[in-house]
């Protein structure tokens, strides 16, 4: 995986980030979702490098080989604001003060927070299978709660940790043939680490508390994305089934929205890397 890429660990005070990076040219940051690591991008990142980009793939705070602070009752150490700050600090460490940004799944929530909190750092932002957290929460109905029940299970204290770590291979399901053997092995190692499992749960606990409040404050203040916004969704996932056209929802957050569905299941970077990379390359092309 990631032939020609370097990797490093960036110390960030209360946290540290494991980062893969490679290529030359305009920088692009790829943010993974739950329960993946930066290795999920192993098929997409080389295609972006080939197209003339510097590509940076961090493990999100607490995921994979990145580490976060101690866990607290307010979950603030794992808020999207804290994780977005990690990404900005990593990019400055690597010499980049402005960059394009891609967020998949939970990485999309981080990408939104980063683009809202640090608008001068983000030239363009792409969201894949992602909506603002509050847009999900204000639409909760029986269908959502049945399909996405894990959001509310993960928010419970103590119980999810005990259930998941008792048999992580039964809880998390991954196919090495679909994911790629090395990606699968890295993912499996991470999901068998109790500290990683707890950090991933803190991500969801923050989502229902501190992150929700941050997004509500943005809406009340009229804060919007100021950069071009690409919205992508997997046609064999359930985002469009639940909400209709995701672009319509994102237009409540950005004045410049484009995008389309991709023929893929949820883990689009693994299942449809060429289609995803082609769309991203076109979106990032200077106009």
**CATH (domain of 240):** 3.40.50.1820
Q: How far apart are CA 191 and CA 168, in angstroms?
A: 6
46, part of any domain? yes
247, part of any domain? yes
1, part of any domain? no
Do the Cβ atoms of 118 and 88 come closer than 8 Å?
yes
Check residue 284 and give its pLDDT.
96
183, part of any domain? yes
Do the Cβ atoms of 187 and 174 come closer than 8 Å?
yes
pLDDT by residue for the chain (287 residues), tens only, comes to: 999 999 999 999 999 999 999 999 999 999 999 999 999 999 999 999 999 999 999 999 999 999 999 999 999 999 999 999 999 999 999 999 999 999 999 999 999 999 999 999 999 999 999 999 999 999 999 999 999 999 999 999 999 999 999 999 999 989 999 999 999 999 999 999 999 999 999 999 999 999 999 999 999 999 999 999 999 999 999 999 999 999 999 999 999 999 999 999 999 999 999 999 999 999 999 87
Residues contacting residue 78 through CB under 8 Å, at least 6 positions apart: 61, 62, 68, 71, 199, 202, 203, 205, 206
Domain that holds residue 97: 6-284
* Axis-axis angle for helices 80-93, 210-221 (nearest 10): 80
Do the Cβ atoms of 107 and 131 come closer than 8 Å?
no
Pairing of strands 16-22, 6-11: antiparallel
For the stretch 167-173, contacts whose Cβ atoms lie closer than 8 Å and that sit 24 or more positions apart, written own/partner, are 168/192, 168/197, 172/35
137, part of any domain? yes
63, part of any domain? yes
Check residue 287 and give its pLDDT.
72
The pTM for the full model equals: 0.97
Report the catalytic residues.
Answer: 105, 266
Tokens of 38: 């930066």
Q: How far apart are CA 60 and CA 58, in angstroms?
A: 6
Q: Which helix (H) or strand (E) holds 128?
A: strand 122-128
Work out the burial of residue 127: count CB atoms within 10 Å of its CB; fewer than 13 is exposed, 13-18 middle, 19 or more buried.
Answer: buried
Check residue 286 and give its pLDDT.
81
78, part of any domain? yes
Total count of residues recorded for the chain: 287
Number of domain units in the chain: 1
62, part of any domain? yes
Neighbours of 144 (CB within 10 A): 16
């Amino acid at each position: 995986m990631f032939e020609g890429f370097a990797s490093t660990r960036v110390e960030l005070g209360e946290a540290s980030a494991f980062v893969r990076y490679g290529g030359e040219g305009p920088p692009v940051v790829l943010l993974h979702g739950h329960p993946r690591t930066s290795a999920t991008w192993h098929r997409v990142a080389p295609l972006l490098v080939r197209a003339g980009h510097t590509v940076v793939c961090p493990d999100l705070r607490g995921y994979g080989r990145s580490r976060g602070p101690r866990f607290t009752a307010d979950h603030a150490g794992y808020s999207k604001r804290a994780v977005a700050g990690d990404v900005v600090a990593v990019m400055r460490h690597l010499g980049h003060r402005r960059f394009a940004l891609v967020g998949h799944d939970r990485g999309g929530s981080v990408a939104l927070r980063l683009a809202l909190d640090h608008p001068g750092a983000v030239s363009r932002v792409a969201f894949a299978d992602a909506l603002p957290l509050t847009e999900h929460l204000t639409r909760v109905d029986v269908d959502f709660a049945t399909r996405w029940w894990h959001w509310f299970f993960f928010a419970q204290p103590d119980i999810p940790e005990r259930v998941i770590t008792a048999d992580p291979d039964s809880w998390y399901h991954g196919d090495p043939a679909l994911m790629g053997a090395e990606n699968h092995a890295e993912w499996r190692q991470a999901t068998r680490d109790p500290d990683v499992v707890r950090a991933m749960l803190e991500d969801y606990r923050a989502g229902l508390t501190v992150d929700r409040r941050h997004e509500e404050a943005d809406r009340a203040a009229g804060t919007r994305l100021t950069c071009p916004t690409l919205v992508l969704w997997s046609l064999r996932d359930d985002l469009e089934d639940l909400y209709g056209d995701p672009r319509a929802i994102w237009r409540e957050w950005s004045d410049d929205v484009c995008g389309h569905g991709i023929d893929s299941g949820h883990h689009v970077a693994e299942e449809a890397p060429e289609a995803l990379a082609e769309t991203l390359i076109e979106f990032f092309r200077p106009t």
